[in-house]
Amino acid sequence: MKLVRYGRPGKEKPGLIDDEGKLRDLSGVIDDIGPEQLSDKVLRKLDKIPHADLPLVRGNPRFGVPVSKIGKFIGIGLNYYDHAKEMDLPIPTEPIVFMKAISCLSGPDDPVMLPKGSKKTDWEVELGVIIGTRARHVTVKDAEKHIAGYCVVNDISEREFQFERGSQWDKGKGCDTFGPVGPWLVTRDEVYFPDKLDLYLELNGKRMQSGSTDNMIFSVPQIISYLSQFMTLEPGDVIATGTPPGVGNGRKPKRFLKKGDFMRLGIAGLGEQQQDVIAFQQY
């Protein structure tokens, strides 16, 4: 299944994309798509509903983050061999872990806002993993069963904040709008080979990133098992698993986002995002 949340920010309704690519309303069946709806039991129940009988949603509503009440937004750094090479950094011997602020979450097509004082805002298309059941000290072998599904993430990063303003990456990763997620959650039963997915990102129509998850240093099960040794992963937690080469900070000359830029990015079978880049706005 492809599960979505659609509507105005803060007013999203649950829905799904049927086999014909049409948006169907799930609000008569469930209140939302959140931690309580991500277990295998609930997902199987939703899958058994005749999708063609669900109300058809007209028009082209906005898509929000496909999961509500996300508790943790975790990032894995330098997890592609070719990306580590372009950044001229050593291959990690253990996953590099950072946190993205929950307040940075945004819909897949919502604008990306340059933070105040930004000089080096960058892009990163990534495979996102959404946890479905609690994972605590799980083995690599058992890790997959804790996954609800997969999604596209754009791990927007301000490189000056990340690398030049102290030793912690988090403040370069958590600015408002720096976490577009979606357009949908694809349940794990429909993603047969998460280690063989093509990823891409275009900036103003020019291909900047091309890669495959088969070039990941640490696989999704390895990442989940590793994280679960240090923190309990809860239903609804999102993990961004790293980016392939082609980021702005790795190009020669370097290229960073500016007002008026337009990004289009996606992962095979998981959908596509597109974002306008806008200047800082004081709310």
- List, for residues 170-227, the tens digit of each pLDDT value: 999 999 999 999 999 999 999 999 999 999 999 999 999 999 999 999 999 999 999 9
Q: What is the pLDDT of residues 217-230, one digit of tens each?
A: 999 999 999 999 99
Query: What does the pLDDT look like over 242-253, one tens digit per residue?
Result: 999 999 999 999
pLDDT band at 282 (very low <50, low <70, confident <90, very high): confident
pTM: 0.97
Check residue 164 and give its pLDDT.
86
The answer to whether 267 touches 183, Cβ cutoff 8 Å, is no
Q: What is the pLDDT of residues 98-154, one digit of tens each?
A: 999 999 999 999 999 999 999 999 999 999 999 999 999 999 999 999 999 999 999
From first CA to last CA, the distance across the chain in angstroms is 36
Cα–Cα distances in Å, from 23 out to 139, 176, 193?
37, 28, 25
85, pLDDT greater than 90: no
Instruction: Express each pLDDT in 20-55 by its tens digit.
Output: 999 999 999 999 999 999 999 999 999 999 999 999
DSSP 40-104: HHHHHHHHHS-GGGSPBPPS-PPB--SSSS---EEEEES-BHHHHHHTT-PPPSS-EEEE--GGG
* pLDDT of amino acid 278: 98
How many whole angstroms separate alpha carbon 7 and alpha carbon 14? 9
pLDDT at 264 over 80: yes
Two tokens, residue 2: 């492809």
Q: What percent of the chain has pLDDT over 70?
A: 100
CB atoms within 10 A of CB 62: 15
- Going by pLDDT thresholds of 50, 70 and 90, the confidence category of residue 89 is confident
pLDDT by residue (tens digit) across 47-79?
999 999 999 999 999 999 999 999 999 999 999
According to the model, what pLDDT value does residue 167 have?
Answer: 78
Minimal CA–CA distance to 158: which of 104, 204, 107? 104
Return the pLDDT at 86: 86
d(CA 155, CA 152): 10
Sequence ranges of the domains in the chain: 2-53, 73-278
| Mean model confidence pLDDT for the chain | 96
Looking at residue 258, its amino acid is K
H or E element at residue 186: strand 185-187
CATH topology of domain 73-278: Fumarylacetoacetate hydrolase; domain 2 (3.90.850)
Contact in structure between 257 and 157 (CB atoms under 8 Å): no
Spatial separation of the C-alpha atoms in residues 106 and 152, rounded to whole Å = 12
160-172: per-residue pLDDT in tens? Answer: 999 888 878 899 9
Report the Cα 105 to chain-centroid distance in Å.
9
| CA 146-149-152 angle, 5° bins | 135
Sign of CA dihedral 158, 87, 266, 12: negative
Q: What is the C-alpha separation between 24 and 45, in angstroms, rounded? A: 16
